Structures are given as structure tokens and as C-alpha cells.
Structure 1
């Protein structure tokens, strides 16, 4: 249930950079900072080209709409309660220092660090599927500075809205979390049709959530910088009434606009 460092490395073999103490790929903080300003479209275009077209998931409720983030995924998966499986999980948890078998959602939260993003697959469960409320949400916000993506429910939304973090979830419910077992931590999980691995960069935007494989982050960062730079030029020229929106809002600029952009870039580099 709780994988070893070596098992997580084996699950994420394409990452060649630094890793967290648990084995997850550790994308640099500088890249996370750039990605926090990226759009879902920036990321998806790179992922689609690389053969990862199903990494975006929409249709969320957010605790802090308009607060984008980028964080490293710490994944967990819950399954419906089964007594014998629960006993095995509780035994495994005790071996790793987790003594509160009835509060397995806290095991994951206590494992979070700065820059992490909790990604919880609780199979869309809302009633008795509230992974966090405002108390555990405070722990998530304090530990990560990012937030969480929960394919299930939350409670105490008023309190969650006061936190300096953003929580993506399916719905709210006043019930506590019950009748589930923590099945996996830092393993592959499914969130709304996307496969998420530990260490993926979670890009939360106004539209939804994109799960970026760490070995593709550099390409997304580069594309995001390039696109933002071209957008800046295009909006400037539209505001100056040098070009029309029709001329700028197109997949391929005319040759004279590209030449103008090249000249402008020499003075305003990316």
C-alpha cells in the first residue's frame, strides 16, 4: 500500500532529475513558478503532440476560483470499505508509523510537503466521501502552499475558502469520510479519465486541472513562455491599432507580422 523509494522510481523511469525523499520526481520550484501562470491550452498542446492527450480534466468546483497553482502530485486512491482489506491496510500503516487506522485520509496529508498537491481518487464519492474539511484543509494549505484535487467531496467549504490554497472537488457534503479504505499512496490513480502518477505536475487553472508528466515539464515551460511572449506582442499591436484582431488571432501570422515580431523580440527578449 505504501510503496518504497525504488518502486516509485520504477513507476516514473523517464524522469532523470532530482527526486523527493519518497522517490517522486521533484520538478524544480522555478518551473512550478512559471507553470502557475500557464494556461490549460499551453500545456495541452505540448502534451497532445507528445502523445498524452488525456491529461486534462474539467468540470470541477473550486474553493478559490481564480487562484491558479502548479504543484507536485502526491497521489492516493480509496476503495469502498471491505473489512479484511481494511485490516491489512491498518497493519501496513502501523509499520510506517500511522497509528490512527480510522483516519486513513490523514496519513496522506501528513506526508505532504512544500510544493506538493494532494491528488485523491475516491471514485467520485460525495456522501461520506469528504476527504478534507476546513481542519484537514488547513493542514494541506499549510504544508503545501498549493492545495488539492479531490475526485470526490469536501466539507466545511466556508472554511476552505478562507485558506491560501485552492481545492478542486466534485461537490460538498456535511457528512464525514466513512466506509472507504486507503488503497494506494503514490501509485497510479485515475482522475476523471486521466491517469496520474506520483510527481506529475498538477496545473490548476480557471478551466480545470492538467496533469503534466514531469519529463515533459521543460517543454511545457518553454511553450508557455513562448506563447505568453507572442500574446504580449499581439495584444500590444492590437491596442496600438497597428494590426486587426483578425490578423493577430490566427494560427499563422503573415510574413510582415512575423518580421515585426522578430524585430520587437530583439528589444523585448523572451
Structure 2
């Protein structure tokens, strides 16, 4: 086996057709990450759930900065309880064959780049399972600029970590002990985080509600649907406040006349300025198609 093996990563993520890092990890564009920072967890959850991705969310965490949103590309690690022969073999391989330095957690953190998030399956170990403390959290902040860590296990040095800028950490518990009696059996492989599954290159969206892992090939679609929902809500609030439409009209599938009103507002209103990259041709065509079919009682959820 190899740690962080490009062939394995490409094999795991065949639906991603965009740019990749040298190790094969999908590189979702920075602009998509920027846009995802502005959506809610529920807005990201909906498009994934509707496409069958029902194991992407986990909310049972403690959070270093619960008021801050975290977004980045996943770098995964999978740990298991230490078995001496396995541990000796893998440590030796990493040091001698891959020229890695230090302990397993240092190998992963040394690989991070800007906008990365460490995602670690530590099998929910807290005592002797503290994946990061003050020093390694500082290294994560320095390398990722605005990333962080999702750890299904423990951390230490909480009082230091909370003072570090440009990082957020989602973790199960804290303990003064250092990491020990664990072995890393995979780096940039599928990782189970509670009820969720994360692959290398997934976009990690961390919010006060928890963490959701967005597959890279669905990242732009997810954020586009979220943005469309946001700006339609803004329009709906404006028109409802003015008494132009009823709530039933706003919540139902829109007809062409309502869509035309929305498009005029969308092109001219300052509140829609940040959404001008969105295209509505598909929605207009669908509204026209439905009108030809006759009245529909579909309600927008």
C-alpha cells in the first residue's frame, strides 16, 4: 500500500472532470469555494439528498468557533487502534519509502495547502486520541489560510487553539493526553465521520449545525441551486411585503408571468447584484412547458 496514492485517488473520484492536484485530489475552483461560504448547510443538503447522497452530514461535534463558517477541500486520514506489527510496518514504510517525517498526524498536516480541511476518522477516540493541539493547529492555520479540521476524535490545548486565527476545528472531545496507540491505515482514502462519508477533495462546509461533505462533481450545481433559492426568497419577500402576490403564489411553481416579473427585478434591483452570474433560461422554459400542459398543483418545497 501507499499513502496519498494518486492512482487510488483518481480511481475513487471518476465523476470529477476538472483540475486536480498533483496527487490526484479534485481541485474544486476557488470561486466555487467562495460562493459556498455564503450558503447555509440546509441549502447544501437539499440538492445532495435529492440525488441520493444521504450520508453527507454529521452534526454531533464540539466546535472551536461555533459562530464561524468553515469551507475547504478535504484531505482525509483513517486511523485504527494500534497493532504492533501493522504499526511498525506502516511507520517504517512512511519514513523510509516515502521520506515522511514525524508521526502520522504530522504527515497529513505537512501535505496541506491553501483552502484545505483535514478530515480524520479517529474512531471516536479522545483519551490518547488528540489529533491536534496548539502547535499542529497553528500549522494548519498557516498552511490552509482559512481551513481547519474535522476530527472524529479528540484535540488538546483548547485554550491555545481558540486563540489561533483563520482556523476552525470540529471535534468530539478534548483531553490533556497526547496522541498514542493509533495507526494510520489510509491517507486521502474514504473516511467515515460519524454518519457521514468523506472522500478526498470533497468540499467541507462547516456551520454551527455541523459539517456536510459535498462531492466535488456536485459542488457547483449545489451552490448554484442554493443561490437561486436565496435570490428567489429575496424577491418573494419584497413582493409579499408590497402585497403583489400571495404566499400561495410565491410558494407554488411559478408561471411565465411571475417569472418575467422576477427576471425584470433580478436584472435591475440592487439586492440581486451579487447573483448576476446565474442563468434562468431553464426555469423559464420549464414554466412555459408546464403552462402548455395545463394547471399544476405543484408546491415548491
- TM-score higher than 0.5: yes
Shift in Å, 1:251: 4.4
SS for the counterpart of 1:123 is strand
Find the counterpart in structure 2 of residue 179 from structure 1: 181
Tell whether the 8 Å contact from 1:247 to 1:253 is kept in structure 2 after alignment: no
Shift in Å, 1:266: 3.0
Cα 1:41–1:88 change in 2 (3 A) is same
Separation of aligned partners in 1, 2:244 and 2:147: 39
Tell whether the 8 Å contact from 1:78 to 1:122 is kept in structure 2 after alignment: yes
Find the counterpart in structure 1 of residue 84 from structure 2: 83
Shift in Å, 1:3: 3.6
Find the counterpart in structure 1 of residue 163 from structure 2: 162
Shift in Å, 1:113: 0.6
Cα 1:80–1:232 change in 2 (3 A) is same
Separation of aligned partners in 2, 1:151 and 1:74: 14
* 1:242 paired to 2:243: yes
Separation of aligned partners in 1, 2:78 and 2:230: 36
Tell whether the 8 Å contact from 1:109 to 1:118 is kept in structure 2 after alignment: yes
Find the counterpart in structure 2 of residue 73 from structure 1: 74
Greater C-alpha radius of gyration: 2
Cα 1:249–1:203 change in 2 (3 A) is farther
* 1:41 paired to 2:49: no
Separation of aligned partners in 2, 1:2 and 1:54: 25
Q: What do the CA deviations read for 1:73-106 (whole angstroms, capped 9, x no partner)?
A: 0000110011001111112211111142xx2211
Shift in Å, 1:253: 6.5
Tell whether the 8 Å contact from 2:236 to 2:250 is kept in structure 1 after alignment: no
Q: What do the CA deviations read for 1:235-259 (whole angstroms, capped 9, x no partner)?
A: 4445x45379x82897437768656
Tell whether the 8 Å contact from 2:18 to 2:26 is kept in structure 1 after alignment: yes
SS for the counterpart of 1:127 is strand
Find the counterpart in structure 1 of residue 98 from structure 2: 96
Aligned 1:1-270 pairs, distance under 5 A: 1-94=2-95, 95-100=97-102, 103-144=103-144, 145-163=146-164, 164-237=166-239, 240=241, 242=243, 247=247, 251-252=251-252, 260-268=261-269, 269=272, 270=275
Tell whether the 8 Å contact from 2:70 to 2:207 is kept in structure 1 after alignment: yes
Shift in Å, 1:172: 1.2
Tell whether the 8 Å contact from 1:121 to 1:189 is kept in structure 2 after alignment: yes
User: How many residue pairs were aligned?
Assistant: 266
The CA RMSD over aligned residues, in Å, is 2.1
Separation of aligned partners in 1, 2:195 and 2:42: 18
Separation of aligned partners in 1, 2:163 and 2:33: 23
Question: Which runs of 5 or more structure 1 residues have no equivalent in the other structure?
Answer: none
Cα 1:88–1:243 change in 2 (3 A) is farther
Shift in Å, 1:152: 0.7
